[in-house]
Amino acid sequence: DAKTTQPNSMESNEEEPVHLPCNHSTISGTDYIHWYRQLPSQGPEYVIHGLTSNVNNRMASLAIAEDRKSSTLILHRATLRDAAVYYCILRGSNYKLTFGKGTLLTVNP
């Protein structure tokens, strides 16, 4: 699986938007960009995924660069419950999800 690069940690204030970046310069044309998050002592939770176009769901938005070499997960209004490790993963035509170290998001009240 192609590699992704994320900042180790980010900090946000409650009720403010959060933009979590991910670089994936070696992405192939068939790789989907998936985002998961893991709250403390819990299993990962699916957040969103996309291929080429920007995507929105009830949890977040995913903005994908035109060349697909980077993407940004957008939490429109961070809450304390959004504090978690966020993983950006490239998913190709196999069954693997290769988790990196992710970004630890801290949300300040």
Partner 1 sequence: SQTIHQWPATLVQPVGSPLSLECTVEGTSNPNLYWYRQAAGRGLQLLFYSVGIGQISSEVPQNLSASRPQDRQFILSSKKLLLSDSGFYLCAWSGAGLSTDTQYFGPGTRLTVL
Write out the residues near partner 1 by the rule CB under 8 A: 32, 34, 41-46, 49, 87, 91-102
Distance in angstroms (rounded) separating the CA atoms of residues 12 and 49: 23
Q: Which residue has the tokens 């996309």?
A: 50
Q: What is the nearest approach in angstroms of partner 1 to the Cβ of residue 97? A: 6
Q: What is the nearest approach in angstroms of partner 1 to the Cβ of residue 20? A: 16
Pick the closer one to partner 1 by CB: 72 or 98. 98
Q: What is the nearest approach in angstroms of partner 1 to the Cβ of residue 34? A: 7
Q: What is the nearest approach in angstroms of partner 1 to the Cβ of residue 9? A: 14
- A 10 A CB-CB count for 84 gives 21
Buried b (16+ CB within 10 A) or exposed e, 52-71: eeebeeeebbbbbeeebebb
Bridge partners (DSSP) of residue 62 are: 55, 73
Pick the closer one to partner 1 by CB: 4 or 77. 4
Pick the closer one to partner 1 by CB: 80 or 97. 97
User: Any idea what DSSP says for residue 60?
Assistant: -
Pick the closer one to partner 1 by CB: 77 or 101. 101
